[in-house]
């Protein structure tokens, strides 16, 4: 990474101030890049171990060894092995939200396409989670953040908490069903999901 920072200041004190700001900025960017790298490294290590053994039997010490990081480093980034998964799913949901937010007046077809495309990238991760009976963890981590996606996909205006939960549950369960079996491509699933979701008519107000 190269970071160009133009310092042009006649006043000597100002020059010093700006240099300090520059140094702090550099340090922050480097630390952030390091955080992302370390967290990705730890996630990949857990993912590799999960392909060999059941999640319940995996110990933090094994993840630490596989990732080749210090135990202290692990706990600076994650509170537990579950936390690694929760953070990864949060990252995936954020990624979908960012993509959806770049478009205006998006319809069901387009938004569903975006959602399925992002999930498809991580399908082997989700399949592994569900094989490890971690469906509950997936649902738990979807809970806080997925509603913003549902609102965009189904064009729901804030109406009624039960109607919102109705759509949320239906959507989450259908997506999880697809993610449970990595034998159906995103394209095939998209056709089915679009046909299903566009056939629903709720006359509830």
Residues that bind a second copy (CB under 8 A): 133, 135-137, 139-140, 143, 160-163, 165-174, 176-178, 192-193, 195-196, 199-204
Closer to a second copy by CB, 105 or 203: give it.
203
Which of 13/195 has CB closer to a second copy? Answer: 195
Contact 142, 175 (CB under 8 A): no
Terminal CA-to-CA distance of the chain, rounded, Å? 54
Work out how close the CB of 137 gets to a second copy at its nearest, in angstroms, rounded to a whole number: 6
* Dist. CA 58–CA 63, nearest whole Å: 8
Q: Report how far residue 134's alpha carbon sits from residue 176's, in angstroms, rounded to the nearest whole number.
A: 11
Q: How far is the CB of 125 from a second copy (least distance, A)?
A: 17
**Smallest distance, Å, CB 44 to a second copy?**
24
SS3 of residue 102 by DSSP: coil
For a second copy, the closer of residues 67 and 115 by Cβ is 115
Contact 130, 113 (CB under 8 A): no
Q: In angstroms, what is the minimal distance from the CB of 200 to a second copy? A: 5
**Residue 44: closest CA among 119, 125, 118:** 125
Nearer to a second copy, 155 or 200 (CB): 200
């Amino acid at each position: 990474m190269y970071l160009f920072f133009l310092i042009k200041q006649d006043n000597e004190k100002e020059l010093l101030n700006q240099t300090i700001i520059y140094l702090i900025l550099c340090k922050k960017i480097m630390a952030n890049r390091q955080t992302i790298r370390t967290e990705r490294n730890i996630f990949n290590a857990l993912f590799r171990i999960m392909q060999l053994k059941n999640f319940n039997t995996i110990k933090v010490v094994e993840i630490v060894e596989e990732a080749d990081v210090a135990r202290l480093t692990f706990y600076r980034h994650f509170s537990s092995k579950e936390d690694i998964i929760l953070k990864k799913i949060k990252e995936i949901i954020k990624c979908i939200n960012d993509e959806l937010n770049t478009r205006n007046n998006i319809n069901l077809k387009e938004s569903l396409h975006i959602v399925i495309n992002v999930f498809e990238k991580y399908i082997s991760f989700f399949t592994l989670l569900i094989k490890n009976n971690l469906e509950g963890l997936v649902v738990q981590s979807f809970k806080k953040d997925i509603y913003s996606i549902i609102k965009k996909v189904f064009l729901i205006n804030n109406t009624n908490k039960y109607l919102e939960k109705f759509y949320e549950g239906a959507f989450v369960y259908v997506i999880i069903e697809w993610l449970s079996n990595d034998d159906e491509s995103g394209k095939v699933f998209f056709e089915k999901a679009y046909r299903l979701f566009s056939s629903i008519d709720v006359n509830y107000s």
